[in-house]
Structure 1
Amino acid sequence: MAVSGSKEFDVKADPATVMAALVAVERLPEWSSAHKTVTVESTYDDGRPLRVRMTASVVGITDEQVVDYSYDGDKKLEWTLVSSTQQKQQDGSYILTPNADGGTHVEFALTIDPKIPVPGFLVKKAQKMALDTASKGLTKFVEG
């Protein structure tokens, strides 16, 4: 059963700075405790990651996954799951909108669908952790 969640938050940095932090996927383990390893397998001509392999561990479940990233300038980053040991589906996005004060309003969305039946409370806990990491972890990483 696929579950979706979203979270909106503000970061005290312009969209280009926030996007630069998101594009630095190899640094993901610095602000996301779930991510253990991240390797960029291929890039676009501009150097931004296209295909990324990562190991993540959430609620005691370790997942080896490959995702493909796409971008709309410094406005939007999206990814979709290519392969995974634990998931049938994963789609996520960050939409970045400039604030009047020079900061960025961030809209984060994530949909996951585990391969095996997982108790609902564990899926919700994993989802909450992902949403919190996306907001608190990214904000601290960018602003810190």
Structure 2
Amino acid sequence: MSLSVSGEFEIEATPEQVMRALVDVERIPEWSAVHKKVIVESRFEDGRPRTVRMTLSVLGVSDTQLAEHKWIDDEQMSWVLVESDKQRSQEGEYRLTPTSRGTSVRVTMSVDPKIRLPQAVLRQGQKQAIRTIRKGLTKFVVDNYV
């Protein structure tokens, strides 16, 4: 069964600065403790990552995933899971909107694990992911791109 989660927060940076941080996927382990290794396997002509292989550990479960990314200017990045040992499917999106103070970042994610997990545990993991993104990405953007 697939579960979805979303969150929204603001970063005091322009959408372009936030998007530069998102494009820099190989540095995700610097701001997300669950990501152990990230490798870009292919890129679009503009240099943005297309397929990305990630090794991560969430709630004590390790997995290596291959995801395909799509980019819309400095407004949106989305991904879809191509392969994983532990998940049937995963989709997610970052949507960036300029605000008077910077950028509103809306994150949505849907996960369907192969292994049986209590719904409460899966929901807890997803909420932790949103908290990690809010805190880690915000600091990463401010420290490296502003």
Paired residue secondary structure (2:13): coil
* CA distance in structure 2 between the partners assigned to 1:113 and 1:38 by the alignment: 21
TM-score, scaled to structure 1? 0.97
Match in the other structure for 1:6: 6
* CA distance in structure 1 between the partners assigned to 2:138 and 2:6 by the alignment: 16
Letter in 2 for 1:26: E
Conserved 8 A contact 1:59-1:125:
no
Residue 121 of structure 1: how far off its partner (Å):
2.5
Give a deviation string over 1:74-101, Cα, whole Å, max 9, x none. 0000000000010001100000001123
Residue 124 of structure 1: how far off its partner (Å):
1.5
* CA distance in structure 1 between the partners assigned to 2:99 and 2:119 by the alignment: 36
Paired residue secondary structure (1:46): coil
Moved beyond 4 Å, runs of 4+: none
Paired residue secondary structure (1:90): strand
TM-score, scaled to structure 2? 0.96
Residue 117 of structure 1: how far off its partner (Å):
1.1
* CA distance in structure 2 between the partners assigned to 1:112 and 1:126 by the alignment: 10
Give a deviation string over 1:7-63, Cα, whole Å, max 9, x none. 000001000000000010000000000000000000000000000001010000001
Match in the other structure for 2:47: 47
Paired residue secondary structure (1:118): coil
The percent identity for this pair of structures is: 48
* CA distance in structure 2 between the partners assigned to 1:124 and 1:34 by the alignment: 16
Match in the other structure for 1:141: 140
Conserved 8 A contact 1:31-1:141:
yes
- Report the count of equivalent residues: 143
- RMSD (Å), alpha carbons: 0.7
Match in the other structure for 1:100: 100
- Mapped pair 1:16 → 2:16: yes
Q: How does 1:124-139 map to 2 (within 5 A)?
A: 124-139=123-138
Paired residue secondary structure (2:46): coil
Residue 126 of structure 1: how far off its partner (Å):
1.0
Letter in 2 for 1:127: Q
Identify which range, 125-134 or 72-81, moves more after superposition. 125-134
* CA distance in structure 2 between the partners assigned to 1:112 and 1:120 by the alignment: 11
Paired residue secondary structure (1:41): strand
* CA distance in structure 2 between the partners assigned to 1:13 and 1:123 by the alignment: 31
* CA distance in structure 2 between the partners assigned to 1:66 and 1:74 by the alignment: 23
Paired residue secondary structure (2:96): strand
* CA distance in structure 2 between the partners assigned to 1:34 and 1:22 by the alignment: 16
